[in-house]
Amino acid sequence: MNIIIVGCGKVGTSLAERLSAESHDLVMVDLSAAKVEDASSRFDALGIVGNGASFTVQQEAGVENADLFIAVTGEDELNLLCCLMAKKGRHCQTIARVRNPMYSKEIQFIRERLGISMIINPELTAAREISKLLKFPSAIKIDTFAKGRVELLRFRLKTEMGLGGRSVMDIMGRLKTDVLICAVERGSDVVIPNGSFVVQDNDILSIVGSLESTAEFFEKIGVRSKQVRNSLIVGGGTIAHYLTLDLLKIGFRVRIIEQRKERCEYLSEMLPGAEIINGDGSNQSLLLEEGLANADSMIALTGLDEENIFLSLFAKKHSDAKLVAKVNRIAFTDVVDGFDIGSIIYPKYLTADYILQYVRARQNSIGSNVETLYKILDNRAEALEFSIREASAVTDVPLMELNLKDSLLICCINRKGKILTPRGQNKIKVGDTVIVVTTNQKLRDIRDILKE
């Protein structure tokens, strides 16, 4: 596809990284010549310096022949104007980043009236991800499929769970729960396991199943999720705003520590149910005074990755809270994972996954759309949900007879809301949605799961 990206900031470059890996033709547009030069050289893209809302600049970028136009500058109104200009007299799809909470209730209206294909909000997406984790604190990461009916949960295997040294087949036979162990991380290795694979303590496991099945799985291995009812949030930015709105609705007690006085005044006005504390969140005495030791959860959302990580390490030492840290830069993910500080949220990658899912769905709109897509296991694997719209080589054939690619697992079949854990005799049928986990990248159609 021919794709134009306006804005070469964190989200724009993470998008370019993902889309260039999928062999799309990219044009990067930004007012900063240095940013354009860096992005175009890194991702083998055409670079244009200029205002992305300018008709002349859009013509230079080739908007007449573009399949997709994405505006992700730091200004919501500019992104909307860029997309509005791109739609006039042209046929490309448009995506705009809109972050301001002021617009959150008007997104549907804006999208329909301006003819924008998709509006993305990295901060709102990150807030919802954190909210999911607080509802199931045993998990390091949670991804959802089948309109929320199916979960993919990532957790670390601890000695007290009693599963180390057992094969996957043994574990499933012993626990008798309708979940699948779909991936195992051991150090730098990632494995899509078969039944004979033996897991070890300290492995990181990913399991897939319905909400009821995953809850039953954790109950049977002795992990009873402690109810999280209060949160201490350090950093009062846009993610904290969205997250607090969500948590207050479900009865949480929320305290936000924010250093900027004017921001505290704004949050006090917009979030009357929350406690807003004006202070330095990196001050250890202040954290302890504000009840860190008794907090159910601590979420580090400052603008500095290093500060968020150190805050989580401090909280780990002084409390039993569920820990979540926001990280924007991903150059040292293996180091961060080694700290075992709970859950790490990467807002720009959550957004990139969302757009990549849209792009793959646009590429194949007949046989089987990609309904949901997550890059998982530090981007070394993908979890995809396909919607089966027509008969093909994979439908109405027992799964045991399908010649599947290596390192690929069919994890779940959603049949009109009924969640099936796949067995050898099960068949994929038209109308199903099917969840697949694989280390094979770039699957666009359900038929891609078969060996050629």
Asked which of 16-25, 281-290, 328-337 is least confident by mean pLDDT, the reply is 328-337
- Cβ neighbours of 156 (radius 10 Å): 15
b/e per residue 233-259 (b: at least 16 CB within 10 A): bbbbbbbbbbbbbbbeeeebbbbbbbb
| Residue with more model confidence, 34 or 346 | 34
Amino acid at site 285: S
Rounded mean pLDDT, 270-274: 95
- The three-point CA angle 129-10-8 to 5° equals 140
Rounded mean pLDDT, 223-243: 89
pLDDT band at residue 25 under the 50/70/90 scheme: very high
pLDDT at residue 358 is higher than 80: yes
pLDDT at residue 447 is higher than 80: yes
Both tokens of 64, joined, read: 């007449």
* Distance in angstroms (rounded) separating the CA atoms of residues 360 and 98: 22
Percent of the chain with pLDDT over 90: 65
The closest alpha carbon to 436, from 369, 365, 386, belongs to: 386
CATH number of 2-120: 3.40.50.720
Q: What is the pLDDT of residues 188-201, one digit of tens each?
A: 889 999 999 999 99
Rounded mean pLDDT, 61-89: 92
pLDDT at residue 171 is higher than 90: yes
* Distance in angstroms (rounded) separating the CA atoms of residues 372 and 376: 13
Could you give the C-alpha distances from 342 to 136, 311, 446, in angstroms and in order? 12, 12, 34
Q: What is the pLDDT of residues 411-435, one digit of tens each?
A: 999 999 899 999 999 999 999 999 9
Both tokens of 81, joined, read: 């104007």
pLDDT band at residue 108 under the 50/70/90 scheme: confident
Q: How far is CA 121 from the centre of its chain?
A: 12
CATH number of 350-449: 3.30.70.1450
Q: Any idea where the domains of the chain sit in the sequence?
A: 2-120, 230-319, 350-449
SS3 per-residue string spanning 334-392: HHHHHCCCCEEECHHHHHHHHHHHHHHHHHCCCCEEEEEEEEECCCCEEEEEEEECCCC
Rounded mean pLDDT, 322-341: 76
pLDDT at residue 375 is higher than 90: no
pLDDT at residue 334 is higher than 80: no
Domain range 230-319, CATH class: alpha beta
pLDDT at residue 450 is higher than 50: yes
Contact 280, 260 (CB under 8 A): no
Rounded mean pLDDT, 225-243: 91
* Distance in angstroms (rounded) separating the CA atoms of residues 329 and 309: 12
Amino acid at site 250: I
Q: What is the pLDDT of residue 363?
A: 67
Tell me if 230-319 shares its fold with 350-449. Answer: no
Q: What is the pLDDT of residue 403?
A: 95
pLDDT at residue 366 is higher than 50: no
